Amino acid sequence: MRIRDVMTPAPLTVSSGTSVHDAAGLLSRYGFAMLPVLAGGALVGVVTWSDVLRAHDADAGPPARVGEMMTRTAYAVHPDTDIAEVAVLMVDRGLRSLPVVADDELVGIVTRLDVTRVLARSDADLCAAVERKLDAYAGWSRWTVHARKGEIALCDDFDDPVEQHLATVIAAAVPGTVHVDTHHRAGCPHHPPVAV
């Protein structure tokens, strides 16, 4: 699953000229962990609660504008980044949210909550969601779906590589899916062998 599937598109942003007071108000009002900072439409940094608190502790007097106190070395991810990679990055770097950038343009934001919702989806819920998507595509319950910790196994009676590929793409796009395998029903490890 890709970050584009779970991110919030067109997030609230501030400019480097936004006042620190206004940025703090936005963080507080919306409960955000951070706000992307744009200059000329490009991401130049982020402003977090830590930045605001550090700024107000400054001995030389608090800065007036976001550009004077923002974090310039902000991490960002591409919308096609795998959600598992983002989860590792967030844990390793202690990040609560990340800007999502494509072609040097901010296209969204992804939070720990977004990632956690996907990773914590129950097997039964994920299985039902994949079944609905496949039924909408095929028009009938052709595929049997098995789900375990985000791993999806699809099986049917036809063993058609083109159909298997399409079913894999459809299942992989469902939030919570981390991997998809397809099988002919006779060889599916989740079905008991049929007695002859």
CA angle 78–98–81, rounded 5-degree value? 25
CATH 3.10.580.10 describes domain 3-118:
yes
Give CA–CA dist 174/164, Å, rounded.
Answer: 16
- Scanning 81-195, the segments in alpha helix (DSSP H) are 83-93, 112-119, 123-138, 161-172
Query: pLDDT for 135-181, tens place per residue?
Result: 888 776 788 999 988 889 999 888 889 999 999 999 988 888 888 99
Domain assignments of the chain as residue spans, ordered by start: 3-118, 123-187
What digits encode the pLDDT tens for the residues 75-91? 899 999 988 889 889 98
Average pLDDT over residues 29-36: 91
123-187: which CATH architecture?
2-Layer Sandwich (3.30)
Q: Which residue, among 135, 119, 124, 121, has the nearest Cα to 171 in the 3D structure?
A: 135
Q: Which residues of 80-107 are buried (b: 16+ CB within 10 A; e: fewer)?
A: ebebeebeeebeeeebebbbbbeeeebb
pLDDT score of 58: 62
Q: Rounded to two decimals, what is the model's pTM?
A: 0.67
Q: Is 151 exposed, middle or buried (0-12, 13-18, 19+ CB in 10 A)?
A: middle
DSSP tally for the chain: helices H, then strands E: 6, 9
